A = this chain, B = another copy of it.
Amino acid sequence: MFIKNTWYVAAWDKEVSTEGLFARTIIGVPVLMYRTQDGHITAMEDRCCHRGAPLSVGRREGDCVRCMYHGLKFNADGQCIDAPAQSRIPPQARVRKFPVVESHRWVWIWMGDPALADPALVPDTQWLDHPDWRSLDGYIHYDVNYLLICDNLLDFSHLPFVHPTTLGGSPDYAAVSPKVERLDNGVRITRWAFDTEVPPFAQTVRAWEGKVDRWNIYNFTVPATLLMDSGMAPAGSGAERGERKDAIEFRGCQAITPETEHSSHYFFAHPHNFALDQPDVTASVHQAVVTAFDEDRAIITAQQRSLALDPDFKMVPFGIDAALSQFRWVVARRIEAEAKAAMDAVQAPASIGPNVAVARP
């Protein structure tokens, strides 16, 4: 069960080209993406409406794609426009087309009702291509349900334990209680650690004297998007009051997109606003994040195996679960609401029945 009426990150912009055919499965649906000659991205079901062969192993023909099983040709709207030995193409010969928005390096896709696909709802990831920020593109694949990854990102108390040599720091970081605020479509988390140790990854990008004040302030919103203001400054320099001239800052952008119930895509970048002309610093920050995310994947995959042994396992809640519990609650409500709307839509015609019956003598 996934939320359908929401924007999912489907790809990094560079993954989808004008020549090729790019395939990725999103919330269980195989999707084909490619750019038409005008540079726009089109996304359609990667499953020929005829016998189900993947169009992505087909052939580009201009702005169209031809299925290389029986030769059906589809235009960029997913409509079949040519079929061998068939003069009249049935109008239902089409594959689903999905609304797509390309925005600041990410390709967002709407898997639900196209009528509801409002581009204004696409989150702002301006730091991914802003001239004042630098980052490298990250992607990793997970063999777990996406909610376990959300859980991980909604509680940074795991940093000193899972990432002691990268993003972590001293255990006191975990002892800080973050502020958790409910948003309409997720949660906002504010975590300040004052007078704490410089985490290992930050030691490689700059020299520090003494301890730092450190913050992670982020919105985590449906379906699974994390946008974060984070950084650190010399302890006592007033970063919490907005004094950031001696600080280093990041604008982490992360998005998890379910592939299936048991696997996930993870898109991420960690833009920084310092050492703009030092690609090795950017590379170093990126590598620290990649290493750390591999650490996350190891523990989460182990967790998944452990949970799979007992479907009835009951978790004991702790205070640190506040944010993830709220987020899971928001997700469950959205899925419920979509299920109810789908049921209402189906039942609406049936309500005509009684009226007709009343009209009878």
Contact = CB atoms under 8 A, between A and B. Distances in A.
Interface of A: 25, 28-30, 46-47, 49-54, 57, 66-72, 83-86, 90, 92-93, 151, 155, 157-158, 160-162, 171, 174-177, 260, 298-299, 302-303, 305-307, 309-310, 313, 315-316, 318-321
Contacts of A71: 157-158, 160-161, 171, 174
Given A85-B174, A161-B70, A54 B303 contact: yes
Given A30-B306, A51-B303, A67-B161, A86 B319 contact: yes
A83 B177 CA distance: 12
Contacts of A303: 51-54, 69
Contact of A161 (B29, B68, B151, B160): B68
Nearest to A86: B319
B68 A171 contact: no
Contacts of A320: 70, 83-86
A356 B344 CA distance: 44
Given A29-B309, A51-B303, A71-B158, 19 more contacts: A47-B307, A49-B316, A50-B315, A52-B303, A53-B302, A54-B305, A67-B161, A69-B303, A70-B155, A70-B174, A71-B174, A72-B318, A84-B175, A85-B175, A85-B319, A86-B318, A86-B319, A90-B316, A90-B318
Contacts of A162: 68-69
A307 B69 CA distance: 14
B302 A54 contact: yes
